[in-house]
Amino acid sequence: MIRFESVTKRYPDGTTAVDDLSLEVPRGGITVFVGPSGCGKTTSLRMINRMVEPTEGRILINDEDVADRKPARLRRSIGYVIQHAGLFPHRTVLANVMTVPTLIGWDKGRARTAAMEAIEKVGLTADQASRYPAQLSGGQQQRVGVARALASDPEVVLMDEPFSAVDPLVRTDLQNEVRRLQRELGITVVLVTHDIDEAISLGDHVAVMRQGGHLAQLASPGELLTEPADDFVASFVGKDRGYRKLGFTETQVEADPERTVSLGEDVPAGRGWVLVADEQEQPLGWVDRQGSGGPVQEEELHRMGSLAEVGDSARVFLDAALSAPSGRGVVVQDGRVVGTVTPERVLEAIRAQGGSDG
Amino acid sequence: MIGGVAWSTVGDLLLRHIYLAGVPLLLGLLISLPLGWLATRYRWLAPPMIAGTGLLYTIPSLALFILLPLLLGTRVLDDANVLVAMTLYSVALLTRTVADGLGSVPGATRQAATAMGYGELRRTFVVDLPLAVPVITAGLRVAAVSNVSIVSVAALIGVSQLGQLFTEGFNRNDMGPIFVGIGACVVLALVLDAGIALLSRVLTPWLRAGVAR
Ligand SMILES: Nc1ncnc2c1ncn2[C@@H]1O[C@H](COP(=O)(O)OP(=O)(O)OP(=O)(O)O)[C@@H](O)[C@H]1O
Ligand SMILES: [Mg+2]
Dump pLDDT digits (tens) for B19-67.
Answer: 999 999 999 999 999 999 999 989 898 888 888 888 888 888 888 888 8
* Helix, strand or coil, per DSSP, at residue A219: strand
The dihedral built from the CA positions of residue A291, A292, A297 and A299, taken in this order, carries a sign that is negative
Query: Class assignment of domain A260-353?
Result: alpha beta
Query: Cβ contact (<8 Å) for B112 and A88?
Result: yes
Determine the distance separating the centroid of ligand 1 and the alpha carbon of A16, expressed in angstroms. 9
* CATH 3.40.50.300 for domain A2-242: yes
Residues B70 and A276: their CA atoms lie apart, in Å, by 107
CATH 3.10.580.10 residue ranges of chain A are 260-353
Can you spell out the DSSP letters for A301-336?
Answer: PBP---EEETT--HHHHHHHHHHSTTS-EEEEETTE
Give the relative orientation of helices A314-323 and A343-354 as an angle to the nearest 10 degrees: 160
pLDDT tens sequence across A84-111: 878 999 999 999 999 999 999 999 999 9
pLDDT for residue A226 is more than 80: no
What's the pLDDT score for residue A108?
95
For chain A, percent of residues with pLDDT exceeding 90: 56
Determine the distance separating the centroid of ligand 1 and the alpha carbon of A211, expressed in angstroms. 10
- By CB neighbour count within 10 A (0-12 exposed, 13-18 middle, 19+ buried), where does A115 fall? buried
A195 alpha-carbon distance from chain centroid: 11
Taken in order of first residue, the domains within chain B and their CATH numbers are: 7-204 (1.10.3720.10)
> Confidence class of residue A23 from pLDDT cuts 50, 70 and 90?
very high
Determine the distance separating the centroid of ligand 2 and the alpha carbon of A160, expressed in angstroms. 7
* Ion ligand 2 residue ranges (Cβ < 5 Å): A 42
Query: Cβ contact (<8 Å) for B112 and A86?
Result: yes
pLDDT for residue A215 is more than 50: yes
Would you report the helix, strand and coil content of chain A in percent, each value rounded to 5? 35, 25, 35
CATH 3.40.50.300 residue ranges of chain A are 2-242
Q: Identify the residue whose C-alpha is closest to ligand 1 atom 7.
A: A11
Q: What 8-state DSSP symbol labels residue B125?
A: I
* CB pairs A-B closer than 8 Å: 67
Determine the distance separating the centroid of ligand 1 and the alpha carbon of A63, expressed in angstroms. 27
Measured CA distances, B198 to A90, B24, B75, B142, B191 (Å): 17, 20, 38, 14, 10
pLDDT for residue A199 is more than 50: yes
- By CB neighbour count within 10 A (0-12 exposed, 13-18 middle, 19+ buried), where does A285 fall? buried
Instruction: For residue B126, give the nearest of A260, A85, A103 by alpha carbon.
Output: A103
Among A89-93, A136-140, A346-350, the range of highest mean pLDDT: A89-93
pLDDT for residue A243 is more than 80: no
Output the pTM of the full model.
0.76
More confident call, B134 vs A318: B134
What's the pLDDT score for residue A51?
95
| Chain B from 154 to 213: CB within 8 A of any A CB | 204, 206, 209-213
- By CB neighbour count within 10 A (0-12 exposed, 13-18 middle, 19+ buried), where does B93 fall? buried
pLDDT tens sequence across A110-126: 999 999 999 999 999 99
A262 alpha-carbon distance from chain centroid: 39
B107 at interface of A, judged by CB pairs closer than 8 A: no
pLDDT for residue A10 is more than 50: yes
pLDDT tens, residue order, chain B (213 aa): 887 788 888 888 899 999 999 999 999 999 999 999 999 989 898 888 888 888 888 888 888 888 888 888 888 788 888 899 999 999 999 999 999 999 999 988 999 999 999 999 999 999 999 999 999 999 999 999 999 999 988 888 888 888 888 888 888 888 888 898 899 999 999 999 999 999 999 999 999 886 544
* Helix, strand or coil, per DSSP, at residue A182: helix
> Confidence class of residue A63 from pLDDT cuts 50, 70 and 90?
very high
What is the number of the ligand 1 atom nearest to the C-alpha of A45? 18
Q: Given ligand 1 and candidates A32, A43, A193, A196, which is best to mutate, with the most ligand atoms within 8 Å of its CB?
A: A43
Ligand lying closest to the C-alpha of residue A209: 1
What's the pLDDT score for residue A244?
52
Best residue in B116, B129, B200 to probe A by mutation, most A CBs within 10 Å?
Answer: B116
pLDDT for residue A3 is more than 60: yes
Average pLDDT, chain A: 88
> Confidence class of residue A40 from pLDDT cuts 50, 70 and 90?
very high
Measured CA distances, B34 to A43, B96, B146, B200 (Å): 31, 11, 22, 20
Reported ipTM exceeds the 0.90 cut: no
> Confidence class of residue A276 from pLDDT cuts 50, 70 and 90?
very high
Residues of chain B neighbouring A144 (CB-CB closer than 8 A):
none
Query: Cβ contact (<8 Å) for A72 and B212?
Result: no
Inter-residue contact A75 to A46 (CB < 8 Å): no
> Confidence class of residue A346 from pLDDT cuts 50, 70 and 90?
confident
